[in-house]
Structure 1
Amino acid sequence: MPQTRIAVVTGANRGLGAEIARQLIARGLHVLAAARNPGGAQRVNDVLGAGAEPLQLDVTSPASVTAAVEHAVGRHGRLDVLVNNAGVTDGAGRASELPMDTLTATLEVNLLGAWRLANAVIPHMRSVGYGRIVNVSSNLGSLSLMTSSSEPAYRVSKAALNAMTRVLAADLTGTGILVNAASPGWVRTDMGGPGAPRTPEQGADTPVWLATLPDDATTTGGLFYDRQPLPW
């Protein structure tokens, strides 16, 4: 019988992250539901049941990332899937008036946190010749679609996350580790707000699809929306 895949989902204490975790569990994966607040992760565990377990993880802290990955590998012996979902936004504002500390804080979570965690799990994925890394991006990070100046720090961080997806995918060619980015669209979550047109279930579909690509899949280095390529 195949070994159960072990997945880490960041920002899994609510909204899109919790829904991604739920859908992965429904597909037979065991999910470490990661959140900065241990209580938040535990609440997700209480809702998701035996297919999940809480994982305290602050993606902005190198020490926290190292400790979380060591704990996960020590407990399960492997890490197969990483969904970098944790993210923050700067909201409405003008790029020409953006405080640099706001930009720094946004990049720290959306880009550096995702990259930091990816680099921590990749050696364990290499050891088994299998891995799926999914970076939750956004239509707002597409240079081709970027015609508004709203949420400037968020847009720039997601465009950078897309670039990170490309360079990591190229670096890992032939290792069995596939790295892709997914836009969930505008989703009704705490971040997206009640007026968003898409449900968390709809938003989670593409990240979950990429996280569960079959063993013989070769799709890597792409940006997808509703399972279709999205312009960079």
Structure 2
Amino acid sequence: MAIVFITGSADGLGRAAAQSLLDQGHRVVLHARSADRAAALGELGSRAAGIAVGDLRSAEETRRIADQVNAIGRMDAIIHNAGVYSQPDRGATPEGHATTLAINTLAPYMLTALIERPARLVYLSSGLHRGGEGSLTDLDWTTRPWDSAKAYAETKLHVVALALALARLWPEVLSNAVDPGWVQTRMGGTSAPVDIETGQRTQTWLAVSDDPEALVSGRYWHHLRQQEPAEEAVERTFQDKLIARLAELTGVTLP
């Protein structure tokens, strides 16, 4: 059985993925934004192999999350699930970054670099990533007028590009990106067409399955099927420039 760390697993798709993996007999390390949210995990928390606590908006707390996970031991897989969607303004993290960028892009990048390398990495993206081209001009929204939809699309492009880059840079790791669809969660709303069980299925399958179809790397998935991502995400030049910029913004380099 595998041990899997899932970011943003206090509710929504992350919680559903954790419940699914636990029900299959796997060990799961949960993540909650605060001690109060960790305490509210209830029965799910009591079943977990551990709970990492920290706010992904903060680089300092993101580092602490990595430390907590490393103290538990090497993960077999990590599902980078946490994310935010519609932010009314750019906001500012303790380090001065745009909130959407910090949670959706900088945090998974930092955790990838700082947590002991697992066998599998899964990054949650969105079909909306195809509207995120051109982000490197003003990655942190310091000069552009704020556009929450565009910012979200850009960050979801970033994680696809990161997943595909890692498949190239870390050939011993299975690294993939997943579009779960528009799911009935607090973020997606009750009118979303995809139920939460369907929404979590692909990422948990990629994290633990020994099916030959799941033992691949550098792919973009939607409901257990491979799809073609945005052209920019597969461009090596874009991937390398993005990683260099993320290293610059965070002070963390990929090992």
TM-score range, shorter chain: 0.7 to 0.9
**Following TM superposition, by how much is the alpha carbon of 1:52 offset from its aligned partner in structure 2, in angstroms?**
4.7
The alignment's TM-score, normalised by the length of structure 2, stands at: 0.74
Change (3 A) 1:41 1:150: same
Unaligned stretches of 5+ residues in structure 1: 94-98
SS at match of 1:31: strand
Unaligned stretches of 5+ residues in structure 2: 133-146, 230-255
Match of 1:112 in 2: 106
SS at match of 1:224: strand
**Following TM superposition, by how much is the alpha carbon of 1:78 offset from its aligned partner in structure 2, in angstroms?**
1.8
SS at match of 1:186: coil
User: 2:90 & 2:57 partners in 1: Cα distance?
Assistant: 17
SS at match of 1:117: helix
**Following TM superposition, by how much is the alpha carbon of 1:70 offset from its aligned partner in structure 2, in angstroms?**
2.6
Match of 1:230 in 2: 227
5 Å matches for 1:48-63?
49-63=46-60
The answer as to 2:188 corresponding to 1:200 is no
CA-atom RMSD in angstroms: 2.5
Q: How many residues align?
A: 210
1:110-148 Cα offsets, whole Å, 9 max, x none, are 111111111112xx23xxxx511110111111359xxxx
1:175-204 Cα offsets, whole Å, 9 max, x none, are 2x1111111100011110111011111100
5 Å matches for 1:131-150?
131-142=119-130
One-letter code aligned to 2:112: A
User: 1:80 & 1:171 partners in 2: Cα distance?
Assistant: 18
User: 2:209 & 2:29 partners in 1: Cα distance?
Assistant: 19
Check the 8 A contact 1:179/1:221 in 2, yes or no: yes
**Following TM superposition, by how much is the alpha carbon of 1:150 offset from its aligned partner in structure 2, in angstroms?**
7.8
SS at match of 1:205: helix
Match of 2:186 in 1: 190
One-letter code aligned to 2:61: S
Check the 8 A contact 1:25/1:52 in 2, yes or no: no
Q: Percent of counterpart pairs with the same letter? A: 30
